Amino acid sequence: MTLSTLQVLVLAYHLISRLAYVFYVGYALRSQERTGLFTRRWGPEGGFRRFRRIAAFVMNNDGVSFAILCMVTWDSLTLPPLRSALIAVGAFLMVLGGLTKFWAAATLGERAYYWHNFFTTESAPLNTRGPYRFLKNPMYTVGYLPLYGLALFTMSLPGLLAAAFDQAAILAFYHGVEKPHFYRWAGGATRAQVGTPSDQRSDTTAG
């Protein structure tokens, strides 16, 4: 497969967007946890609102850039005998993953979706509602199926590669930033008990 200049630029932009997402959110949350980057100046709620505005922008930019990548590289996955089957699988993955992610986000609530627990000192019990009854991390596992689904639906090989990169990046963020914080924030929960963030995102869209 040979990519055009436009396709290479769009792919590069998306990968940079994903890195901007995970590195900004990771840096901001770690700084908030360690030094109160946002709350020491604006207080818990004001600091959270400022963080959420920037986080929403980088997350939405990441999601839109992935969709554009799949559209620009449409039909770059050349497997004619499997085309219809792959498109059908892609549609199924988008529906399954999308519904799971929506269910998880609705269970957590809008504030938790943006890591509100980094802006409060209150602990909380483990979340065992909604999809968290069945999955330890629905946002970053099944919730990422729509990326693979869209790539298959558009038959985009760069889209499939980008989806794998995106999920690897968000899982690295989860293990490096989100999960260690939750061990501390969850209060009395032991490390063995903690598999699911409670009142915590464990997201995206894209990601």
pTM beyond cutoff 0.75: yes
Task: Determine the pLDDT at residue 129.
Answer: 85
Name the helix (H) or strand (E) containing 172.
helix 157-173
Nearby residues of 61 by Cβ (< 8 Å), 6 or more positions away: 17, 20, 21
Name the maximum alpha-carbon separation found in the chain: 60
In angstroms, the CA 18 to CA 16 distance is 5
pLDDT at 186 exceeding the cut of 80 = no
pLDDT at 196 exceeding the cut of 70 = no
121-150 per-position pLDDT tens digit:
776 656 678 998 898 889 999 999 999 999
In angstroms, the CA 7 to CA 157 distance is 11
pLDDT at 28 exceeding the cut of 70 = yes
The count of other CB atoms within 10 Å of the CB of residue 168 is 12
Secondary structure (DSSP) of 2-56: ---HHHHHHHHHHHHHHHHHHHHHHHHHHHHHHH-TTHHHHHHHHHHHHHHHHHH
Share of the chain above pLDDT 90, in %: 74
